[in-house]
Structure 1
Amino acid sequence: MAPPRRALIAVTSAHAPLYPKGQETGVFITEALHPFNVFRAANFEVDLVSETGTYQADWLSQQAEWLPEEDRKVWEDHSSEFRAKMDNLMKPSDVQWDRYGLFFASAGHASLIDYPDAKGLQKIAAKLYEDGGGIVSAVCHGGAIFPGILNAQGKSIISGKKVTGFTTKGEEEEGVLDTIKSWNRPTIEAAAKDSGATYIAPPGPWDAFAYTDGRIVTGANPASAEITAKDAVKAFDKL
């Protein structure tokens, strides 16, 4: 029997100063909104969850160059389906994993802070993947969750797989690599390697790029959120 046509989008609950004037990182809005739109258009029911049931929006993701007017209208409309679900986030204890066939880890640099220790989210994704035969997908920094999503052998579900995610070069270009190191967190490239995966770099740090390896679907950066979600739907439809 095919897994349920229902997607669960994880968002980071962390936030911390990151940008030059001390503005904070958090969930990168379009990295959750664009996949939400893709899944809804593909006739998925969609829910949103964070480890604590809370979130903060990333400062950069609210700036005009990263939040097009159409997206801004949805984001600022608290009665829109997306914003209403963001404002009433589920916690892992609210989630029955077997009601979902697709888990999608949205991102923002803040994901590097809480996803590695997000035991609730990790358990849901592991169950959905191992027991439910579903799709697990992540975009940009969302791959920070993978080292803790374990299979029956105690290895990451991306062990032996090929994945992409935000490049270390991109961190350097943004001037945030030292800050990430101060958080005592690995880059996405390092996390993939530590999990036994092969990291596949996009053509350039900001180019839209996604990679599918079986039931694992990953994307490289904010520009990749939509195509990653579309590829996740394609992988789901093959189940």
Structure 2
Amino acid sequence: MAPPRRALIAITSAHAPLYPGGKETGLFITEALHPFEVFRKAGFEVDLASETGKYSADWLSTTDEWLKPEDRKVYEDKNSEFRRKLDTMQTPDKLNADDYGLFFASAGHASLIDYPDAKGLQKFASGVWADGGVVSAVCHGGAIFKGIVDDKGTPIIKGRNVTGFTTQGEEEEGILDTIKSWDRPTIEASAASLGANYVSPPGPWDSFTQTDGRLVTGANPASATATAEAAVAAFDKLK
């Protein structure tokens, strides 16, 4: 029997100065919103959760360049399903992984800060994996894989193909030193340390995904929709 057609989107609860003028990183809005819309369209029930039950929006993700009018309308409407669920998020310990067939880690640079130690979200995702479900992440969401393991305690990405935000992209944005000050590895370095095969997109900002069985990853904000669609496709192959 296939796992439940229900998805949990993980949200970073971290925030930190990253942009000029001390503007902060946090949740990159469309990396949660676009997957939410894909999953709902595909007939999934969708919930949101962060390690603390709280979130802050990434400043860059709220600018006109990254939050298009149709997305802004949904995000700023406090009565939209997405915004209501974002504002009333659960913590993972209040949810049962057995009720979900798909786990999706949204991101924002802030994910590098809290996801590596997000024991609740990692335990939840490990449960979805153990039950035969799909585990997915986009952009910096791959930071969460540090603690998502199989029943033998092995990272689920070991020996598998994954993608995520490139180190080249961090350099182009001029924020590699900030990441180092957080004492966190880049997604490429984290994947390598866990024994995964990191596959780079053609360019840092090109939409790009990787599917390796029940593991689905995407490279950047432009990949959020495609990654969610690939996760649905992987789910629909489950028996």
Match of 2:171 in 1: 172
Within 5 Å, which residues of 2 pair with 1:133-144?
133-144=132-143
Match of 1:163 in 2: 162
Match of 2:207 in 1: 208
In 2, Cα distance between equivalents of 1:152 and 1:231:
25
Q: CA deviation at 1:199?
A: 0.2
Counterpart code for 1:69: P
Match of 1:145 in 2: 144
Q: Does 2:17 correspond to 1:17? A: yes
TM normalised by structure 2 equals 0.99
Where 2:108 maps in the other structure, the secondary structure is coil
Gapped regions of structure 2 (runs ≥ 5): none
Deviations 1:156-178 (A, max 9, x none): 10001000000000000001100
Where 2:217 maps in the other structure, the secondary structure is strand
In 2, Cα distance between equivalents of 1:177 and 1:150:
28
Deviations 1:91-122 (A, max 9, x none): 01211111100000000000000000000000
TM normalised by structure 1 equals 0.99
Match of 1:224 in 2: 223
In 1, Cα distance between equivalents of 2:16 and 2:37:
27
Q: CA deviation at 1:67?
A: 0.2
Deviations 1:51-95 (A, max 9, x none): 000000000000000000000000000000000000001101211
Q: CA deviation at 1:152?
A: 2.0
Deviations 1:109-167 (A, max 9, x none): 0000000000000000001102x100000000000000111112222100010000000
In 1, Cα distance between equivalents of 2:215 and 2:97:
17
Gapped regions of structure 1 (runs ≥ 5): none
In 1, Cα distance between equivalents of 2:161 and 2:136:
12
In 2, Cα distance between equivalents of 1:93 and 1:220:
28
Where 2:34 maps in the other structure, the secondary structure is helix
Match of 1:39 in 2: 39
Where 1:191 maps in the other structure, the secondary structure is helix
In 1, Cα distance between equivalents of 2:232 and 2:93:
26
Match of 1:3 in 2: 3
Counterpart code for 2:194: S
Point out 4+ residue stretches in structure 1 off by more than 2 angstroms. none
In 2, Cα distance between equivalents of 1:236 and 1:173:
35
In 2, Cα distance between equivalents of 1:44 and 1:154:
29
Q: CA deviation at 1:205?
A: 0.1
Match of 2:55 in 1: 55
Match of 1:108 in 2: 108
Counterpart code for 1:120: G
Where 1:202 maps in the other structure, the secondary structure is coil
Where 2:7 maps in the other structure, the secondary structure is strand
Higher mean C-alpha deviation, range 189-198 or range 144-153: 144-153
Cα RMSD (Å): 0.5
Q: CA deviation at 1:184?
A: 0.1
Aligned residues with identical type, % of pairs: 72
